[in-house]
Amino acid sequence: SNLCPLLIAPALGGQLLAKGVDVENYPGLPRENGGKMISIMKTQARSFFTEVWDDSVMSVNTAVTPFEIVTNRSGLIRAHMIIVATGADSKWLDVSGEWEFRGFGVSSCAACDGYLYKGKACAVVGGGDTAMEEALMLSRLCSSVQLIHRRDSFRASLVLVNRVLNNPNIQVRWNSQIHRFVGRTLASEEGASFEQK
């Protein structure tokens, strides 16, 4: 189609980099981990002559044609079309003690920090696909996993929900919310205080 695609990303693959579980819901791929999927995506993009830049977009001006994109390292780029794919960030609870205990028992990435809790009891908060994936991953490492969810049903895919509910190492705490993280010192990793509705 005679296009000159350019892909700008500071770390191509974003949240896929931390996926320690297999991704099963991507058409055309049977089961792959995040790193392998990124490699496949790069290969496919390059097969269509896409340039891949390790850079960050600082600003976009859509008031002019062609559009103007300013990057951190490469400077000004002009393009007739822009596709924005920003990915996702961790959702934090914004409760007492959460900020103080980040990195000391409170984490948002099982693939990154799960090994720190090997053989220990842990908890995962949420009801979507990410919470299910994190709980399943930690169930292979930890002595037990409490999955804390504020509702009485999950919004995650049925496949993941069934795996969680059938995993003997995961206990679900329905209608419950974390309201603070507690401990005597930052290194104590004592746990969380939660209440059931």
Positions marked catalytic:
109, 112-113
Strand-pair partners of 194: 178
Sheet strands (E) in 22-173: 51-54, 57-61, 67-71, 75-79, 121-125, 144-148, 170-173
Helix (H) or strand (E) holding 181: strand 176-182
Largest CA distance in the chain: 63
Q: Is 125 left (phi over 0), alpha (psi -120 to 50) or beta?
A: beta
Residue 12 phi/psi, 5-degree rounding, is: -55, 125
* Residue located via tokens 């919470």: 131
